[in-house]
Structure 1
Amino acid sequence: MRLILRALKGIDPFLLMLIATVAAASLLPARGIGVPIFHWIANAAIMLLFFLHGAKLSRAAIVAGAGNWRLHLLVMASSFVLFPILGLGLSLLARPIAAPEILAGLLFLSLLPSTVQSSIAFTAMAGGNVPAAVCSASLSNLTGIVITPLLVALLMNVGGAGHSVSIDAVGDIVVQLLLPFVAGHLLRPWIGAWVDSHKKLLQPVDRSSILLVVYTAFSAAVVQGIWQKVSPLDLVTILGLSAVLLALVMGANVFMARRAGLPREDAIVLLFCGSKKSLVSGVPMAGALFAPAVVGVLILPLMIFHQLQLFVCAVIAGRYRAQLERGGQ
């Protein structure tokens, strides 16, 4: 029993919450009148989440990091050029060993923007350029609201996913994500101090909103028979493909940083901001872009990749921190 408790302490609590949410949706999926109710609640939670993200984004942080344009271009190129190329290539090469739905999810995650909180946290832990990380990660998230739907429309059919995107779906993303974000940021002069002083109170909004969307998506997928389509072998395949994708991107980012002659602090920003994909943005985007019946399968690779990237980046950031501390002695 003690061994089990020790093992659980080393696991990200959010991963356990995600697993519990998927299990709840599998055993007790939303049906009937519950479907529109949960859909409405999930959309409201996501709008609140992006409103708070906009309110938390400091104008001073944007100004402090905005001047490092070469670094920001490299991060954007990694997120929206390198990642899609590798995601498309893997989805084509892996056709003999993976189901089309899984490959569609792998390609979809490669088109998403970077994370914000974890990218900044790992950059700070590793001794990187935190203001530049704030600017790069925020810029990736904000532009991703527009770029990701366009990339999905351009590449998803090419990758064999068979999913198309309508103008209405792009409009839904603007309404659900971009407008609340902009509104929150415009209101920051009046509510910013309160938001900054209540970070612990507002922090659960991030995770609870994602859990609501995951439950809603998996409920629809369970009703459509997701667990008859996805086997344990499929989950292992997703993990393997995610590991290959993450390794290729991180290796390419290290190479690009050296070729560009970036200082250590900026190279750390490129490594962490350029190799991450956002679960916070990806789940609601999938819900807005695709039919409810396919969202559950599509976000499986994103959920697995998200946990893998956190684990790998935590290890690397810890090594950077150890090197920094040894150098300061």
Structure 2
Amino acid sequence: MRRFFAQRWFLFVLMTLLLGGLALCGPLAFLPRLTPKLVVIGVVMLATSLATNFGLVLRARDSWLAVGLALLVNAGVAPPLGWLIGRPLPPPLAEGLVVAMTVPCTIAAAIVWTRRGGGNDAAAALTSMISNFSCFLVLPFWTGLLMGATVDIKPRELMIKLLLGIAAPMVAGQLIRAPRRVGAWADRQKRLLSLIAQWGVLFMALLGAIEAGNAMRGSEFRPTSGHWLLLVGMIIVLHMVLLAVAAAAGWAARLGPADALAVTIAGSQKSMAVGVGVALQFGPMTIFPLITYHFAQLLIDTVVVDRHRRKTGPEQPPA
């Protein structure tokens, strides 16, 4: 029993934080307001960068192929698939599902989940960076094509956040580990650095649950229980399909397990941080498919990466 919980501690903590954040969203409403989220994301990205030798990993051809395939699934397959699967939903929820699928890859979670499963986290990190910095083109294209509406994503403000929260910490981590002794120390401390990154993502998940709970309490539109069940079911199906498509792409390209896992996770995960501002432009209800998808991907992908680690790596508690 102890070994069972040791191998799945992350999933149990994640579920506890998500449910606790939703249930206690009122008393904990101050937490998201007082938390500098950009700092938390920066710490996660710095810890991730310190533990990764990007120069070594990205010299391999398969790493770049993994990045290309992940971007293709995330930015090319996900939006029309979300539009198609969301057709039976009420218009606000259907629009929200389209928005959820047009936003870029998660900023930190894709990297942390890929590393947790023993995958190529450098490829996942590069996918996340390219996806976020190209969202100025991808978002207006898909929302205009699928919804007949353009979005205002405030490119200057978003670019500053991306530079400070993603690019700067990643570059800083590589510069810090550049001296041979520091790099060797970082490689020895990879487990500790991975734990720091995972707890950072768990904290961000708690903040997201609190904000989601308060958003639901403040919404005037009240979908029926049938609408909620249909939405949750469709989102689970949608994410599972994207996981399968991304995994099939990695298999077809004959990628190794580490690169294939990067394609699977980075190709299917979506960012709530970028998506919230976009979704709210179409009305308050459009935020809920995005939030639901975010929570679903965290829970489902935890099971996926832990299973991948047990199949491809040594039998030990994951970092």
Shorter chain as denominator, the TM-score bin is 0.7 to 0.9
- Does 2:294 correspond to 1:303? yes
- Does 2:38 correspond to 1:51? no
How far apart, CA to CA, are the structure 1 residues paired with 2:200 and 2:244?
Answer: 34
Listed as ranges, the matches of 1:179-258 within 5 Å are 179-188=164-173, 189-190=175-176, 199=193, 200=195, 203-225=198-220, 228-258=221-251
Structure 1 residues 101 and 307, CA, compared in 2 at 3 Å: closer, same or farther?
farther
How far apart, CA to CA, are the structure 1 residues paired with 2:70 and 2:291?
Answer: 25
TM-score, scaled to structure 2 = 0.73
| Structure 2, unaligned runs of 5 or more | 1-7
**Offset at 1:295?**
6.5
Residue equivalent to 1:291: 280
How far apart, CA to CA, are the structure 1 residues paired with 2:11 and 2:44?
Answer: 26
**Cα deviation 1:120-144 (Å, max 9, x = unaligned):** 222x1xxxxx4xx222210121122
Pick aligned residue for 2:159 from 174, 181, 194: 174
How far apart, CA to CA, are the structure 1 residues paired with 2:55 and 2:135?
Answer: 25
How far apart, CA to CA, are the structure 2 residues paired with 1:155 and 1:284?
Answer: 18
Listed as ranges, the matches of 1:17-28 within 5 Å are 17-25=17-25, 27=26
How far apart, CA to CA, are the structure 1 residues paired with 2:264 and 2:32?
Answer: 37
How far apart, CA to CA, are the structure 2 residues paired with 1:204 and 1:29?
Answer: 18
Residue equivalent to 2:4: none
- Does 2:107 correspond to 1:108? no
Percent of paired sites with the same residue: 14
Structure 1 residues 216 and 241, CA, compared in 2 at 3 Å: closer, same or farther?
closer
- Does 2:62 correspond to 1:76? no
Pick aligned residue for 2:83 from 81, 84, 88: 88
CA-based RMSD of the aligned residues comes to 3.8
**Cα deviation 1:24-55 (Å, max 9, x = unaligned):** 23x5585xxx7xx954x34x2x2112322342
How far apart, CA to CA, are the structure 2 residues paired with 1:11 and 1:79?
Answer: 24
Residue equivalent to 1:277: 269
**Cα deviation 1:162-211 (Å, max 9, x = unaligned):** 8742152x333223333232332343345996996664566533322342
Mapped contact 1:102–1:301 kept (Cα < 8 A): no
How far apart, CA to CA, are the structure 1 residues paired with 2:81 and 2:196?
Answer: 39
How far apart, CA to CA, are the structure 2 residues paired with 1:152 and 1:261?
Answer: 30
- Does 2:255 correspond to 1:262? yes
Listed as ranges, the matches of 1:114-125 within 5 Å are 115-122=110-117, 124=118
Mapped contact 1:87–1:245 kept (Cα < 8 A): yes
Mapped contact 1:54–1:181 kept (Cα < 8 A): yes
Runs of 4+ in 1 over 4 A off after TM superposition: 8-11, 27-30, 190-198, 200-203
How far apart, CA to CA, are the structure 1 residues paired with 2:58 and 2:79?
Answer: 25
Residue equivalent to 1:134: 121
Amino acid paired to 2:275: A
SS of 1:142's partner is helix
| Structure 1, unaligned runs of 5 or more | 1-7, 125-129
How far apart, CA to CA, are the structure 2 residues paired with 1:295 and 1:77?
Answer: 25
Pick aligned residue for 1:153 from 133, 140, 144: 140
Structure 1 residues 66 and 164, CA, compared in 2 at 3 Å: closer, same or farther?
same
Pick aligned residue for 1:63 from 48, 55, 63: 55
Mapped contact 2:93–2:285 kept (Cα < 8 A): no
Mapped contact 1:243–1:308 kept (Cα < 8 A): no
**Offset at 1:311?**
5.0
**Offset at 1:294?**
4.5
Mapped contact 2:113–2:305 kept (Cα < 8 A): no
**Offset at 1:315?**
6.6
Mapped contact 1:153–1:165 kept (Cα < 8 A): yes
SS of 1:229's partner is coil
Give the number of the structure with larger relative contact order, counting CA–CA contacts within 8 Å between residues 6 or more apart. 2
